[in-house]
């Protein structure tokens, strides 16, 4: 009796037959939005299961990162990038980053976790710097007759209280912290990009670069989009499997409406810094 198999069943059986070579596939992880430490954007805890699955499910020829990120928390940037590198080294899988509108500041930190970085001709990269912003409300509470009372044990416990006048000592301490973070950021970029980086004094000043200029500075490796670039590497038959963060039913319908609204405002503010 002659048995026939459908194409779908046959393709599914191929992976169990040693001498049959399956078509290659690339796992794609989207990194969209600001990097936060409050669970409203990109953070290591939320991305951990996504990245683990992307690197571990099947045997991907590569992992591609779709990045559209204006930056955010330096700690979360470091944690996410470190996780990507650990998995890449453990699984011996190359990582490619594809920048859409922007990979700036912490977003560029994530891009540097890839072995190669590609951008659109209009993509923004760079912003290798650190920023801290806040408000001074001491005149506002005085206007309404409100007296601020703060008691501490330890002269350095209270710093940059928005309801008190700015202290030169506090500003000096903050600048020291920002410089330390900036140095860590620069060291990481140099460790990942190495000799590819141009000898440009503006490279680590927080300056941003568009498309070809980012390539000229060695911040990226080429101008190209995900599908055609990876097809040129792995063949026209390469498949793409997408992985992303998923929300539960309650998260999608009402339980996090306010939180999501706040996240949307924060995202827009972060992207707006780059005219986006």
Of 205 and 81, the structure prediction assigns the larger pLDDT to: 81
Catalytic residue among 73, 78, 105, 127: 105
Question: Is 90 exceeded by the pLDDT of residue 40?
Answer: no
User: Residue 8 pLDDT more than 50?
Assistant: no
Is residue 70 within 8 A of residue 104, CB to CB? The reply is yes
- pLDDT band per the 50, 70, 90 thresholds, residue 270: low
Where are the domains positioned within the chain? 24-129+188-272
Q: Is the pLDDT of residue 185 over 60?
A: yes
**CA separation for the pair 114, 69 (Å, rounded):** 15
Q: Where does 24-129+188-272 sit in CATH, by number?
A: 3.90.226.10
Inter-residue contact 112 to 81 (CB < 8 Å): yes
**Taking a C-beta distance cutoff of 8 angstroms, is the pair 84, 95 a contact?**
yes
Identify whether the C-beta of residue 256 lies closer than 8 Å to the C-beta of residue 46.
no
Q: Given the residues 143, 157, 165, 172, select the one marked as catalytic.
A: 157
105 is annotated as an active-site residue: yes
Q: What is the pLDDT of residue 103?
A: 96
Residue 18 has pLDDT above 60, yes or no: no
DSSP 94: -
pLDDT in tens, 140-176: 666 666 666 666 666 666 655 666 666 676 667 767 7
């Amino acid at each position: 009796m002659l048995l026939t198999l459908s194409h779908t069943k046959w393709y599914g059986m191929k992976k169990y037959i040693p001498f049959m070579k399956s078509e290659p596939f690339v796992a794609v992880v989207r990194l969209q939005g600001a990097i936060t430490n409050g669970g409203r954007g990109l953070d290591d805890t939320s991305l951990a299961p996504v990245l683990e699955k992307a690197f571990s499910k099947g045997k991907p020829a590569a992992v591609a990162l779709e990045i559209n990120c204006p930056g955010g928390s330096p700690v979360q940037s470091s944690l996410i990038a470190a996780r990507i590198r650990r998995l890449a080294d453990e699984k011996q899988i190359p990582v490619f980053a594809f920048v859409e509108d922007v990979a700036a500041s912490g977003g560029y930190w994530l891009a540097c976790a890839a072995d190669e970085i590609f951008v659109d001709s209009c993509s923004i990269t760079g912003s290798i710097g650190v920023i801290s912003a806040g408000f001074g409300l001491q005149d506002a509470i005085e206007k309404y007759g409100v007296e601020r009372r703060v008691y501490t044990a330890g002269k350095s416990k209270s710093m940059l209280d928005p309801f008190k006048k700015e202290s030169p000592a506090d500003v000096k301490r903050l600048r020291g912290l920002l410089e330390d973070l900036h140095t860590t950021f620069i060291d990481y970029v140099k460790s990942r990009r190495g000799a590819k980086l141009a000898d440009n004094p503006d490279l680590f000043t927080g300056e941003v670069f568009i498309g070809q200029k980012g390539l000229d500075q060695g911040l990226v490796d080429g101008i190209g989009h995900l599908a055609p670039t990876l097809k040129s590497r792995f063949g026209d038959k390469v498949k793409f499997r997408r992985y992303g963060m998923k929300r539960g039913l309650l998260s999608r319908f009402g339980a996090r409406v306010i939180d999501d609204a706040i996240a949307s405002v924060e995202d827009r503010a972060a992207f707006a810094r780059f005219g986006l």
